[in-house]
């Protein structure tokens, strides 16, 4: 019997863990034979001394097999998904899933809750009255087969080892370890039985990785481990130095999704990210020959209304209304108080502390400060002007949606405090880095 403390000692001293030692750790996560203290010590040892590629592959595949692994046998089209490392206003999953589903892929998207300052895909979907993010696995698979897409929340028996390790990392200052992030993301994604994965690795002041160097290291780690584990994977590094799109907050982001899918309003930065990721998903899965044919398919899915129709049908199939795309606000609640945020000075919008804006949404009640808290789906910001815009003092640069006047006033002050202005037009970060 391999003792937990002996396995911890090997990694503490910078040694390389054998396959059976990593398997013993993962078994201990599930059956409780590693105590919380021992899991925390192991996480810190990995944080300090890292893992080599072989160790990362072993940890990822062991965690993947710690619970259910979905099989798509008999499904005759590529099983393809994307994962984002999270940011503020990141509603890309909804557009992408609908577009790739409309182009002939099967997209079984298993999404997360909000974490820290970043919004959660599952929380956003729950803005819609009746939407069930936790159907049974047979229901989930049936919807994917019929519509090409279903977006749900992580189930209890999908990578349960990760669930426990994640909660302990959260309270032991070991969240930012690249090997642990890699294993956490991929154990869940690989358990979904994918053929192809595209990673959206965010970088900037609103991302988990604030430096390009760290984002590149994470992108390389994820793609090498996933490819070694047999899933064709590409990582794309995208900008998170400002809110993505014009909304941040659960129901507001769902409304922007509807506007995008119907062509009523398409934010250019958001569209660039969606197109880039959708192209990679279509080309890597063999649904498109090359980038130009992928772009034609993407434009056709949007212009024909097919992507919007698929999204609408998915909402209905998971318990939402049957006419969500036509009347989104009939199925979502609006905030009690909506207040304009006005520029305090004239000049160009030069910089945005995106993380602070994400934390403002949390402060309004749109995210959690403790596990299991209820989320206020109505709150957040919309009509957000992008960086580089020239404004005059008194111009509306965003709107805050809050449950009361006091909350709106505080959030408006925080929003203004997160911006800086300049006299000259600022040089903006690229939307896609690499």
Q: Is the pLDDT of residue 217 over 90?
A: yes
Q: What pLDDT was estimated at residue 156?
A: 78
Share of the chain above pLDDT 70, in %: 97
Q: Is the pLDDT of residue 115 over 70?
A: no
Under the banding of pLDDT at 50, 70 and 90, the label for residue 172 is: confident
Return the minimum-mean-pLDDT range out of 166-175, 186-195, 282-291, 378-387.
Answer: 166-175
Q: What pLDDT was estimated at residue 366?
A: 87
Range 213-239 average pLDDT: 94
- Per CATH, the number for 337-422 is 3.90.1170.30
| Catalytic positions | 81-84, 121, 169, 184, 188-189
Under the banding of pLDDT at 50, 70 and 90, the label for residue 271 is: very high
Identify which has the larger pLDDT, 224 or 113. Answer: 224
Q: What pLDDT was estimated at residue 114?
A: 60
pTM across the whole model: 0.91
Round to whole Å and give the CA distance between 126 and 111.
12
Q: What is the mean pLDDT of the chain?
A: 94
Nearby residues of 120 by Cβ (< 8 Å), 6 or more positions away:
111, 112, 113, 114, 367
Q: What pLDDT was estimated at residue 154?
A: 78
Task: List, by residue range, all CATH 3.40.1030.10 domains of the chain.
Answer: 80-328
Q: Is the pLDDT of residue 173 over 90?
A: no
Q: Is 382 exposed, middle or buried (0-12, 13-18, 19+ CB in 10 A)?
A: buried
Q: What pLDDT was estimated at residue 341?
A: 97
Under the banding of pLDDT at 50, 70 and 90, the label for residue 350 is: very high
Calculate the dihedral angle through the C-alpha atoms of 406, 375, 258, 152, rounding to the nearest 10 degrees: 170
Q: Specify whether the CB–CB gap between 131 and 315 falls below 8 A.
A: yes
Q: What pLDDT was estimated at residue 55?
A: 97
Considering only CA atoms, which of 162, 178, 269, 163 is closest in space to residue 216? Answer: 178
Range 291-301 average pLDDT: 98
CA distances from 200 to 63, 72, 185, 215, 224 (A): 22, 24, 12, 10, 15
Task: Answer positive or negative: Cα dihedral of 130, 191, 141, 327.
Answer: positive
Neighbours of 83 (CB within 10 A): 25
Give 208's DSSP letter: S
Q: What pLDDT was estimated at residue 197?
A: 96
Task: List, by residue range, all CATH 3.90.1170.30 domains of the chain.
Answer: 337-422
Range 38-55 average pLDDT: 96
Return the minimum-mean-pLDDT range out of 120-129, 302-311, 336-345.
Answer: 120-129
Q: Where are the alpha helices (DSSP H) in 192-305?
A: 212-228, 250-262, 268-284, 291-303
Identify which has the larger pLDDT, 304 or 117. Answer: 304
Q: Which residue has the tokens 């006047």?
A: 405
Is domain 80-328 annotated with CATH 3.40.50.300?
A: no
Compute φ and ψ for 217, nearest 5 degrees.
Answer: -60, -40
Q: Specify whether the CB–CB gap between 431 and 269 falls below 8 A.
A: yes
Range 334-345 average pLDDT: 96
Q: Specify whether the CB–CB gap between 242 and 116 falls below 8 A.
A: no
Q: Where are the alpha helices (DSSP H) in 2-135?
A: 4-12, 19-31, 36-49, 53-64, 92-102, 121-125
Q: What pLDDT was estimated at residue 113?
A: 66
Question: How far does the chain reach from its first CA to its final CA, in angstroms?
Answer: 46
Neighbours of 171 (CB within 10 A): 10
């Amino acid at each position: 019997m391999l003792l937990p403390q002996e396995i911890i000692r090997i990694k503490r001293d910078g040694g390389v863990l054998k396959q059976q030692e990593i398997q013993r750790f993962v078994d201990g996560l599930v059956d409780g034979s590693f105590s919380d203290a021992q899991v925390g010590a192991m996480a810190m040892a990995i944080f300090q001394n890292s893992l080599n590629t072989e160790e990362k592959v072993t940890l990822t595949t062991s965690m993947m097999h710690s619970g259910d692994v979905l099989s798509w046998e008999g499904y005759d089209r590529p099983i393809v998904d994307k994962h984002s490392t999270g940011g503020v206003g990141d509603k890309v999953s909804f557009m992408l899933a609908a577009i790739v589903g409309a182009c002939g892929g099967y997209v079984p998207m298993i999404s997360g809750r909000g974490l820290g300052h970043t919004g959660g895909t599952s929380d956003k979907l729950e803005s819609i009255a009746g939407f069930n993010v936790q159907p049974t696995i047979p229901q989930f698979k049936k919807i994917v087969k019929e519509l090409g897409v279903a977006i749900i929340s992580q189930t209890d028996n999908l990578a349960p080892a990760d669930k426990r390790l994640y909660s302990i990392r959260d309270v032991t200052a070991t969240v930012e370890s690249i090997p642990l992030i890699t294993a956490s993301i991929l154990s869940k994604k690989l358990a979904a039985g994918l053929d192809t994965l595209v990673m959206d690795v965010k970088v900037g002041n609103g991302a988990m990785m604030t430096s390009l160097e760290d984002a590149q290291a994470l992108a390389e780690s994820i793609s090498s481990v996933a490819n070694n584990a047999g899933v064709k994977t590409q990582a794309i590094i995208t900008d998170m130095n400002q809110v993505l799109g014009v909304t941040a907050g659960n129901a507001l982001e769902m409304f922007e999704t509807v506007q995008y899918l119907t062509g009523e309003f398409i934010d250019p930065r958001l569209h660039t990210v969606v197109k880039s990721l959708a192209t990679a998903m279509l080309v890597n899965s063999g649904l498109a020959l090359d980038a130009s044919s992928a772009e034609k398919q993407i434009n056709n899915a949007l212009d024909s209304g097919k992507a919007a129709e698929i999204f609408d049908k998915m909402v209905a199939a998971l318990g939402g209304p049957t006419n969500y795309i036509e009347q989104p606000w009939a199925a979502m609640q609006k905030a009690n108080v909506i207040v304009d945020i006005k520029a305090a000075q004239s000049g160009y919008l030069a910089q945005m502390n995106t993380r602070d804006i994400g934390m403002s949404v949390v402060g309004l009640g749109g995210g959690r400060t403790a596990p299991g808290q209820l989320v206020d789906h109505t709150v957040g910001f919309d009509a957000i002007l992008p960086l580089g815009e020239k404004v005059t003092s008194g111009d509306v640069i965003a709107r805050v949606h809050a449950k009361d006047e006091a909350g709106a006033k505080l959030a408006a002050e925080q929003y203004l405090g997160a911006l800086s202005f300049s006299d000259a037009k600022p040089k903006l970060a690229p939307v896609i880095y690499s």
